[in-house]
Amino acid sequence: MVKNIFIFRHGQTDNNLNQICQGYKTDAPLNETGISQADTLGRQLAANVKLEVIYASPLQRAYQTAVIVKSYYPDIAIRPLPELHEGSFGNAEGQKIDVIEKLYPGLWKQIISPTKDTWSLKFPGTPSESKQEIFYRALRGLQKLASIPEKNIGICSHAGVISALACGLELKNVQYHNCSILHLCYDTTAAKIFQPE
């Protein structure tokens, strides 16, 4: 069986707007722009995809986005998928990006846009996860979907998770802006997750 998984990033928060690093500990609600983005996302998804369930990171910015998207799918449920919460970024969390770049020269770009050569790096401080650790955590979450009956699945997650999946699965042309959508297919028979052509 091949399932369609639509992973969408949460809407904008004031931290996004102010270029502040948000991770697992730094959780902010959607701002007005983020609410509007989530509404547009829900409308676009409903016009093109018959989602059967929505899974969400437990962080409020993701869950709030999922609730808005679900308003276009009144008959489906939102279920938690904690494995797809944002990463923990140690001492970088809550800091402005320009400050992080001064404190840890070069590290921000290597972690935010990882390659297989850099995805084991992490910010100092506790707790802190590498993109490699985030990838395997998120992969465990996606693998849980093999046992559910639904075939068209929405997931509200975070840019750090999406970039970890893009690196680990070697995905192409992935978008990271607020409320962007990543379409993946999960061949549960072959146990393979891939981008559709």
Q: What is the pTM of this model?
A: 0.96
Domain boundaries, the chain: 2-194
pLDDT tens digits, 105-145: 999 999 999 999 999 999 999 999 999 999 999 999 999 99
d(CA 62, CA 157): 6
Q: Spell out, as residue ranges, where the chain has pLDDT lower than 50.
A: none
Residue 197, pLDDT score: 86
Q: CATH second-level architecture of 2-194? A: 3-Layer(aba) Sandwich (3.40)
Q: What is the C-alpha separation between 128 and 92, in angstroms, rounded?
A: 9
* Radius of gyration of the chain from its Cα atoms, rounded to whole angstroms: 16
Residue 20, both tokens: 């502040």
CB under 8 A, 24+ apart: contacts of 111-114: 112/160, 112/163, 113/163, 114/163, 114/164, 114/167
The owner of tokens 């409020």 is 60
CA distances from 133 to 7, 41, 70, 165, 168 (A): 19, 29, 30, 11, 10
